Structures are given as C-alpha cells and as structure tokens.
Amino acid sequence: MRIYQLLVKCMRTRIFTNSQLYVFDQQLIQSMKVQSTTTQQDGRFLISDYDYKSTNIEKNGDKYIAKPQITSFKFKTDTRIPKVGVMLVGWGGNNGTTLTGGILANKFNITWNSKGGTHQPNFYGSLTQSSVIKIGTCNTEEVFVPFKDVLPMVNPCDIVFGGWDISSMNLADAMSRAQVVEYDLQQKLRPYLEKLVPLPSIYYPDFIAANQGDRADNVIPGDNKLEHLNIIRKNIADFKQQNNLDKVILLWTANTERFCVEDPNIHGTAERLLQSIESSHPEISASTIFACAACLEGCSFINGSPQNTIVPGVIELAEKAGVFVAGDDFKTGQTKFKTCLVEYLVGAGIKPKAIISYNHLGNNDGKNLSQESCFKSKERSKKTCVDDILESNKVLYPTEEELNIDHTIVIKYCPETGDSKKAMDEYIAEIFLGGRQTFAVYNVCEDSLLAAPLIMDLLLLCELFERIQFSKDASEYQRFDTVLSWLSYLMKAPKSESGITTINSLSRQRAMLENLVKVCAGLTIDDNLRLEVRYGASRFQQ
C-alpha cells in the first residue's frame, strides 16, 4: 500500500462509529448511585456538568495578580462495556507472561502452594482493581469505594490477549524461563498457557543489545520495513476479526531500544514517517513500526519502554486516526518511590542536592540494558522524573544552575538476582543553617510482579478514556488530546501534549486521575478541607 493510501485509510479509521457493536452486557455501577441535578443518564451516556475552578495569573513587574475564574464543562461517558483485545509486543517476556498468567489465575480462581502456605489470586498493585476513592461522608465517616466502581470499566478477566515476540516459546515455557511466578502456579497455568504462542515479531539488531540475538528465532524475515508494517497491520486486523472484538489496544513491553536519531525529515510528519518506512530508513525502530501499525488500524498504542517511539509523525498519525498514544516507560518501584521522596522533601522546604541510584538485576531487561546505547535510554527516563518537582520551588532553586543537582544512575546486570531488582539509593539534602540530611534506601523490586498490574491499569484506563468526551460551554463534544497524558501516574517519563508542562509529582498525578473519574460520575472533587466534619454534620446540613 502506497503512502497516500495509508494516510487516507488512517484518516477514515475511528475507534467509535455509530454502527459499532458491543457484545458484552451493560455493566453499570451497582454499589453507588449519584443523585444530582448536574448529572443525567441519556440513553447509553452518563452526562455530568462540571464547573472548573482555576486561577489565571498575570505578572506585573515582580508582583503577581491572581484572578480566580470558573469555566463550565460537560463530560459525556459511554457506559457500554466493549469486548477488548490487547496485543502485547514482547508477549513472551517476563511482563507479558506474568500479566497473562496472573489474569488467568484470577479468572479461574486458581490457588497454589508455596512454603508459605496456600495462596489466593488477587490484583494487588493495581490502581483500578485494588485502590479506593473517597466519594463523600456518611455523618462524619468517610466513605470509600473501589476505583473500578466509580465508572463502568472493563473487567480485566474479560480481556482477550495476543501479541508478538522474537522468541517462539509458548507462554507456559516462557513463564518458566522468566522465573517470576511460583512453580506450583506455573504448573497449574500450563494447560492454559502452552497453547498461546506469540506471532513472529520485528527484529532490528541495531536497536537492542547484541545479547538478545540468541532469543530471536521468531522474527518476520527480510529488511523491508513497509512490508513489516503491513504484516503487523494484518496481524491486528485478523486478531480483531477472529475474536469478534470491538476494539484492540497495543502495548510495547519488549526490550528497551536505543533512542533513534530523531530527524524532522524522517520522523517529523506522518507523511515523512511513512515515506521513511517505505524506504526502510535505518533510523526507523521496531517500536515505531508497531506504533504506526496501531494507528493505521485504529488502535491506541502505549509505549512501556523509555525509547523515543512516539515521534511527531506517530502523533500525527494517531490524531488523524482518532486514537491515543501514551508513554514512556513503566513507573513501578524505585522511580515511583523517588518521586514520592523528592516531592516530600521539596514540599517540606528541604533542598535535595544529590540523588545516587544504583540498581542490579538479573532478568532479560537487565541483560539488554548492559549494552550502553540501551542503558542511555533508561538513564534518561530515570533522571528526568524529578525535574518539574525541583523547578516548582524557586525558593530552593532560584537559578537554572542550582537545578543541576548531582543525579547519578547506575544499572548492572547480575544474573543471580533474577527478576528481584535490588535498588540502593542515597538522597542528600540541605536543611536549616547549612545542615545535611541523608536518606539511604534499600528497595527490592520484584520487577514483573509490580509491572503486570500496572500494565493492566494502563490498558483499562486507556480504554475508559476512549469512551469519555467533553465540551466547554455546551459546544461540540471532543475527545482528550491524542497524547494521553492522563496516564502519567503510571509512567517514568510521561509524554505530554505539545506545549503542556510534564508533571512527575505522584500525588498530583494520582489526584488528576481520581478527580477525572469523579467528575465524569457527577461526584464532587474532594479538597480535603473536611468542613462537613470540622463544622459539625448537623449544622453543615442546615
């Protein structure tokens, strides 16, 4: 298919059409009913009015003039639950096998034994499935409900999985190779997993470590990148049709690639990007091929690794197709803790001066990162995760020079460690009268057991946001921006819309997600003043 035909098909593709069929039963919220004049159920849509309160700042010399303002919005959420398919790039890796096996264990309530006793499956570590949101007060008692119950969401056990991998192992053998899941559970999952075999994937040795070559026995032949793109597109279309799916979401959980050398003439627009794919340009990565295929097939794409997959041309393709792209790099253990601690220090008026992060791990991710070019991609995402937190406090950091704190990242491959990544961090901060405070933190992150529920959240939230539209002042409804920065809570280096400041503060990222689902459900955002309790419940109601 030529460039023009690709662009035309892309522009005609939409996730939502009036004729789209949803085969799942309607799943509406059972544990909570909102009674409000600002909320209505209009057929399949839940519509809520929201007055957004913000403060516009004008600068007059060295003075700020604050002007509070209120803007009216309407949010419209499609309450129908679609049948969703997920295609993972790197399905046979540690994350892919752990996620697939974990969801199957929950779906079929598979228990297993270890030396610690009998274990029940759960979704611990999942924001959507295991965390709660405060919805109000009953007398003086705060009431919390599961995140997943505030708006209608896909049940993870109903997701249909597929995907690609450069290794031909079935998922049962791949899970055994990963050495993440307990042996007894592996054996009980084997009948379900051994029939799941990844599709051949794209393998460009220049973009990942040479030590991955011994796995690459399941690759699409040749070096014609346009042909590779078309094969991946056909894989997606066949998967959707064969499983009678309403929508498909793609997620990259394969190896960290080196950064491509980004060039406007290669990656700058959708047309140039497709031309570069057609000419098999050496700076077109495998992950970018998958992202383009997703967009051209009307599927949202999530990049779970730190490389610069989502180049401007991919964003333009996604915008034309009406789908989302999101990234970069899963935020699981050490980095999530780092943003929390730095946010605490800066919020307390304590000045971080140095962060030294050391990691050693023994999984295949660590093996791949032992190559310098791949490590540099990871180093960048780990280093930038506190930048905006530091920049927010001009009292502690009045100059650009002072923002350049000593932030050192070390990652070493140690096979004996396996999937239990050892993270050792030292934080040095300046306190009152030139004093020093030092935190030394030792953190064992079971990488894939933390990443699997996070991947599930990315998929479920991305699907939910595909069903949400909003309008300002009763104007035409629109979807969120193509770059889905709402998912930043789950990403080390969250990619934001053009011109929008990236936010890494974990509490602000979490509040952003919580507030959005509450607004869409017609609930009031909690400002934590708790006046109904402090003033007295009986007097407050008068």
Q: Is 492 a catalytic residue?
A: yes
Q: Is 412 a catalytic residue?
A: no
- Claim to verify: residue 315 and residue 388 sit in the same structural domain: no
CB neighbour class for 529 (10 Å; exposed up to 12, middle 13-18, buried from 19): exposed
For the chain, state the CA radius of gyration.
24
| Residue 115 placed within a domain | yes
| Residue 378 placed within a domain | yes
| Residue 199 placed within a domain | yes
Q: Is 421 a catalytic residue?
A: yes
Domains of the chain: total: 2
Looking at residue 99, which CATH number applies to its domain?
A: 3.40.50.720
**Amino acid identity at 487:** L
Q: What confidence score (pLDDT) does residue 11 get?
A: 41
Under DSSP, the state recorded for 212 is G
- Claim to verify: residue 287 and residue 352 sit in the same structural domain: no
Distance CA 273, CA 313 (A): 6
The CA-CA-CA angle for residues 23, 320, 296, to 5°, reads 60
- Claim to verify: residue 163 and residue 187 sit in the same structural domain: yes
| Residue 493 placed within a domain | yes
- Claim to verify: residue 425 and residue 477 sit in the same structural domain: no
| Residue 75 placed within a domain | no
Among the three residues 428, 447, 466, which one is the final residue of a domain in this structure?
447
| Residue 58 placed within a domain | no
- Claim to verify: residue 285 and residue 404 sit in the same structural domain: no
The tens-digit pLDDT sequence of the chain (542 residues) is 444 344 444 443 333 333 233 333 333 344 567 777 788 888 899 999 999 988 998 988 888 899 999 999 999 999 999 999 999 999 999 999 999 999 999 999 999 999 999 999 999 999 999 999 999 888 778 899 999 999 999 999 999 999 999 999 999 999 999 999 999 999 999 999 999 999 999 999 999 888 888 899 999 999 999 999 999 999 999 999 999 999 999 999 998 899 999 999 999 999 999 999 999 999 999 999 999 999 999 999 999 998 999 999 999 999 999 999 998 888 987 888 888 999 999 999 999 999 998 888 777 777 667 777 767 766 776 777 888 899 999 999 999 999 999 998 888 888 888 878 888 999 999 999 999 999 999 988 888 999 999 999 999 999 999 999 999 876 789 999 999 999 999 998 887 776 677 788 889 999 999 999 999 999 988 888 777 776 665 555 55
Q: Is 329 a catalytic residue?
A: yes
Residues 6+ apart with CB under 8 A from 5: none
Is there a cis peptide before residue 328, judged by omega within 30 degrees of 0? yes
- Claim to verify: residue 244 and residue 313 sit in the same structural domain: yes
Distance CA 36, CA 273 (A): 48
Catalytic position from the list 329, 365, 425, 447: 329
Main-chain dihedrals φ then ψ at residue 420, nearest 5 degrees: -90, 90
- Claim to verify: residue 229 and residue 188 sit in the same structural domain: yes
**Amino acid identity at 54:** S
| Residue 55 placed within a domain | no
- Claim to verify: residue 400 and residue 303 sit in the same structural domain: no
Catalytic position from the list 338, 492, 495, 518: 492
Among the three residues 388, 417, 447, which one is the final residue of a domain in this structure?
447
User: At which residue do the structure tokens 């084997």 appear?
Assistant: 190
- Claim to verify: residue 476 and residue 421 sit in the same structural domain: no
This prediction's pTM: 0.89
Among the three residues 401, 427, 447, which one is the final residue of a domain in this structure?
447
Q: What confidence score (pLDDT) does residue 505 get?
A: 87
- Claim to verify: residue 469 and residue 433 sit in the same structural domain: no
Long-range Cβ contacts of 288-292 (<8 Å, 24+ apart): 288/260, 288/314, 289/202, 289/225, 289/228, 289/229, 289/232, 290/89, 290/164, 290/202, 290/232, 290/250, 290/252, 291/250, 291/252, 291/325, 292/229, 292/317
Catalytic position from the list 83, 188, 225, 378: 378
| Residue 56 placed within a domain | no
- Claim to verify: residue 454 and residue 434 sit in the same structural domain: no
Residues 6+ apart with CB under 8 A from 89: 163, 164, 165, 201, 250, 251, 252, 253, 254, 287, 290
Q: What is the DSSP string of 266-317?
A: HHSSHHHHHHHHHTT-TT--HHHHHHHHHHHTT-EEEE-SSS--S-HHHHHH
Catalytic position from the list 421, 425, 495, 518: 421
- Claim to verify: residue 433 and residue 465 sit in the same structural domain: no
Distance CA 312, CA 303 (A): 14
Residue 322 structural domain: 3-21+81-330+449-521
Looking at residue 360, which CATH number applies to its domain?
A: 3.30.360.10
